Amino acid sequence: MTGIGGVGAVAPTAYLTPATSGVQSIAGTAFGDALTSAIDGVSAAQSESSRLAIKAVTGDLTDIHDATIAAARASVTLELVAAVRNKGVEAFTEIMRMQA
């Protein structure tokens, strides 16, 4: 039997670089920019889902799987952004409860 090889190659190490200043994520972008980008991604996923749903209803869509996948992707993305928002609100509330 041989050991598991190549596990280190699976996970890139670029995200492990330390943040250089202030309130920044590990990737080096500000949290607000990352949140804005995520919201833009939700908007793009929802518009793609809507576009494919309209094509499915009008009969112009050749593969219904594309519409189903786009709808699922939009739903999961929206749930993820909502969960991150909820955790942010919880963290803010917890910080506000701390005594100085």
Residues of the chain with pLDDT under 50: 1, 3-25
Distance, in Å, from the CA atom of 71 to the CA atom of 16, rounded to the nearest integer, reads 32
- What per-residue confidence (pLDDT) applies to 89? 92
Q: At what angle do helices 64-97 and 31-58 cross, to 10 degrees?
A: 150
- What per-residue confidence (pLDDT) applies to 50? 94
Distance, in Å, from the CA atom of 96 to the CA atom of 12, rounded to the nearest integer, reads 36
Q: How many CB atoms lie within 10 A of CB 29?
A: 14
